[in-house]
Amino acid sequence: MVSRTQGRGDVAGADPVRHEVLPAQFDAGLDGLGLLRSWPGVDPIELRARFDELRRDAEGAESRTIEVLDVEAGYVGWSTTYDTRVNQLLLAEQPAVTEILAGVPPGLALDAACGTGRLTRLLLGLGHRVIGVDASQAMLARARRDLPAAEFRAGSITALPVTPATCDLVTCGLALTHLASLGKAIAELARALRPGGRLVVSDIHPVSVALGGHAFFRRENGSRCVIRNHLHWHAEYLDAFAAGGLRVRRCLEPRYTLEIVGSFLREGSSPAIRHLEGLPFALVWDLELPAEVRP
């Protein structure tokens, strides 16, 4: 069921779309995933228990209202809670990104799609001079307030307001999944790099997106919202990197750990979330623009 809200949405002239969703659909999908992951050879008693889980999922099919927002409206709504509510994806992604960035010498860093400045803060702590760019004025307002040592500019990830070939390091955290295609954004990130510069890109893993992982969040008033993610497999990333003249140094795929699953459970998720343990949650690319190559 889909309905339009009454009145104006988060962006002038736009009304968010409200969906009636069945959380049991996701729970049943996860329980079905558990069946597939144990195939073949499940003990018959355990198998019957799994089928009982699926029946309970169907019996608990109560609907819930959720607003489906575009990226611009979504980040206006998310900006007030982004830094205060648990985002389990960061539990997987940030340690991997931190490990890579710790090995990059200080210089001029561009944090593309910086949001409220999560990676900007990390880059400043590592001694970089930082320019943060984001399309959301609401996110930038919080970043400017909290991180006065950085310079922040409004701009799109597909049209970055920076001089070409000037940055020693470019980061882009958890943003590319919001784009229908990767090529233009990757070309822009590469354009900002000086020859020999590094690019660190992170996002939700395509396996997680394929299993229903989207950008769910709550506003301050507790209302539930989601920004849909686009599915980009590794081949699409690799094609875009090649077109931009970038070389892959490393690819990290942090997984759903027992700690992350436990965090979901503490936040009230269904026990079915346990079937994700061990699967990839985040995708992190460590890249460089070779000194002899310009895209």
**pLDDT tens digits for range 269-287:** 888 899 999 999 999 999 9
Is 48 a domain residue?
Answer: no
At residue 22 the predicted structure's pLDDT band, cuts being 50, 70 and 90, is low
Give the mean pLDDT of 91-105. Answer: 97
pLDDT for residue 270: 83
CB–CB of 130/69 below 8 Å? no
9: pLDDT strictly greater than 60:
no
d(CA 260, CA 253): 14
Q: What is the 3-state secondary structure (H, E, C) of 69-128?
A: ECHHHHHHHHCCCCCCCCCHHHHHHHHHHHHHHCCCCCCEEEEECCCCCHHHHHHHHCCC
pLDDT digits (tens, 9 = 90+) for 100-142: 999 999 999 999 999 999 999 999 999 999 999 999 998 899 9
CB–CB of 241/187 below 8 Å? no
Min mean pLDDT across 140-144, 179-183, 222-226, 251-255 is at 222-226
Is 198 a domain residue?
Answer: yes
The token pair that represents 50 in the structure block: 């799994």
254: pLDDT strictly greater than 90:
yes
17: pLDDT strictly greater than 80:
no
Is 11 a domain residue?
Answer: no
Residue 279 CA: distances (Å) to CA of 16, 115, 204, 234? 32, 27, 12, 16
Q: By CB neighbour count within 10 A (0-12 exposed, 13-18 middle, 19+ buried), where does 59 fall?
A: exposed
pLDDT for residue 84: 65
Give the mean pLDDT of 53-59. Answer: 74
The DSSP output letter for 51 is H
pLDDT for residue 3: 32
At residue 86 the predicted structure's pLDDT band, cuts being 50, 70 and 90, is low
Q: What is the CATH number of the domain that holds 120?
A: 3.40.50.150
Is 10 a domain residue?
Answer: no
pLDDT for residue 20: 62
Helix (H), strand (E) at residue 25: helix 23-37
Is 81 a domain residue?
Answer: no
CB–CB of 215/258 below 8 Å? no
The mean of the pLDDT values for the chain is 86
262: pLDDT strictly greater than 50:
yes
For the chain, the domain total comes to: 1
In this prediction the pTM is: 0.85
Range of 115's domain?
A: 87-210+233-288
Is 113 a domain residue?
Answer: yes
2: pLDDT strictly greater than 70:
no
Is 255 a domain residue?
Answer: yes
Q: By CB neighbour count within 10 A (0-12 exposed, 13-18 middle, 19+ buried), where does 180 fall?
A: exposed
Q: Which of 107, 112, 103, 137 is nearest to 124 (CA)?
A: 107
Reduced to 3 states (helix: H, G, I; strand: E, B; else coil), residue 153 is strand
d(CA 54, CA 191): 50
Is 108 a domain residue?
Answer: yes
Give the mean pLDDT of 40-68. Answer: 74
